[in-house]
Structure 1
Amino acid sequence: MVGKLEGKIAAVTGGASGIGLASVEAMLGEGATVVMVDRDQKAMETLCERLGNKVIPLKVDLLDPASCATILDGIIEKAGHLDILHANAGSYIGGDLTETDLDAIDRMLNLNVNAVMKNVRTVIPHMIERGSGDIIVTSSVAGHFPVPWEPVYSASKWAMTCFVQTMRRQLNKHGIRVGQVSPGPVISALLADWPEENLRKAKENGSLIEPKEVADAVIFMLTRARNVTIRDMIVLPTNFDI
């Protein structure tokens, strides 16, 4: 059986863990060749041994401007071209703003906002030249609701909601679809900064989802007919109350 992404070249940032890894695995399952973009070379090597030769590791540190700028060149060198970019890498800060470290704010905004914009800016000339492409950004339900215990994180994801909506309008005339997947709380290392009481309650009442469930949404978005764009897919745990 031929996968729905057979012959496609995809790249996933933050691809060595969490939602990124689940997205890599889901795309491989649909026949794509996937460039796993991450800064953790050892983790990528271990994963590639398990996942097979259709996943290609590419070490990029998105917080290093010089390294970040090499993403497309690295993809082209290793895979020839790019059909799909899943701009997934991100980090999390929760808690009151008055208790938030200033350097941590810079790091998170650079990764959640600036790096995404830079990656998209870097790949779109290539996609425009090819006349086709898909760009998916991992956002969050926090990009649609002002979550009071995560003002910096929520603000970064609101920025992505705006960015996706504007870039969709800029790029649709070039055959490029742009959308975002906006999950609720996902079982991953990012939840380590959640307020302990909130995390305890979420675990007790089933208000968490697995990374695979977000990856399933990404595959749905990528496999629609080309005349259909899923601009935003919000994926929530059924018991999540926000």
Structure 2
Amino acid sequence: MKNRPFEGQVAAITGAASGIGRASAEALLAGGARVVLVDRDAAGLAAMQAEHGDAVIPLQLDLLDAAQCRTLVPQVLALAGRLDILHANAGLYIGGDLVDADTDAIDRMLQLNVAVVMKNVRDALPHMIERGSGDILVTSSLAAHYPTPWEPVYASSKWAIDCFVQTTRRQVFRHGLRVGSISPGPVLTGLIADWPADKLAQARASGSLIEPAEIGAVITFMLTRPRGVTIRDVVLMPSNFDL
């Protein structure tokens, strides 16, 4: 049990086919959980299922489609029978000067990074409250803690979601639920492909990027604390981040 702390539990992870979501899934699978992988990337979901077998339950959804988004929790419960851990991870990124940002892209990013997270968490709460236990994790960002000048739209979405995590946590802790966020610095995923080229090159050259597997290790740490302990937020960054 020590090496499989999530035995018998069901987790659902959004944006699970790649990047941080995939790293989270692999950490929870290694810990013995069954994991519902939520993503719109059917090929990525199929690859994860082929690699990990029956412990993986693929669920192809486009969370930007409101009708599909509403089905997330009901489908998880229909497929797996319960929900112990929700990792609201799916997100988009916009960097660069605000004046250059496409307004439709701003709408999509705010919808996925903020509204979809709120709706997914809201839909999971009744089931977890009824059971008197549950863990909710949200992927935030170091950008939620610092006014990053090269990503005002993205950083604003993470400041908003950081507030959501902290206020929701204070509403639901009395029901036996824990709510926390993980706030990594730049991670080696496709999400940072839109970084300014000079900033990305500088980060790569200085070793200022985090491997996704490091995020998975932190998620395992957060979820394996005694039930009376909530890790409210973990900020992690490359040691060379400030170079």
Tell me the TM-score normalized by structure 1.
0.98
Aligned to 2:192: 191
For each residue in 1:18-57, what CA deviation from the matched residue of structure 2 results, as whole angstroms up to 9, or x when unmatched? 0000100000000000000111112211220111110100
Which runs of 5 or more structure 2 residues have no equivalent in the other structure? none
1:16-95 matches, within 5 Å, as 16-95=17-96
- Identical amino acids, percent of aligned pairs: 60
Aligned pairs, number: 242
Amino acid at match of 1:142: A
* Residues 145-167 of structure 1 deviation map (CA, whole Å, 9 limit, x = unaligned): 00000000000000011001001
Partners of 1:213 and 1:91 lie apart in 2 by 20
Q: 1:67-108 deviations in whole A, cap 9, x for unaligned?
A: 000001110111001000000000100000000000000000
Q: Report what 1:177 is aligned to.
A: 178
Output aligned runs, 1:1-242, within 5 Å: 2-241=3-242
Q: Supply the distance in 1 between the matched residues of 2:22 and 2:196 (Cα, whole angstroms).
A: 25
Separation of aligned partners in 1, 2:178 and 2:38: 21
Q: Deviations over 1:210-231 (max 9, x none)?
A: 1110111111110000000000
Find the residue that maps to 1:34 and give its secondary structure.
strand
- Structure 2 CA distance, aligned partners of 1:46 and 1:28? 15
Determine the C-alpha separation between the residues in 2 that align with 1:192 and 1:42: 21
TM-score under structure 2 length normalisation = 0.98
Counterparts of 2:58 and 2:215, CA distance in 1: 22
Instruction: Say which SS state the counterpart of residue 208 (structure 1) adopts.
Output: coil
Please state how far the C-alpha of 1:138 moved relative to its aligned partner: 0.2
Secondary structure class of the residue paired with 1:155: helix
Aligned with 1:53: secondary structure? helix
Q: Specify the SS of the correspondent of 1:52.
A: helix
**Structure 2: how far apart are the matches of 1:210 and 1:51?**
21
- List gaps (5 residues or longer) in structure 1: none
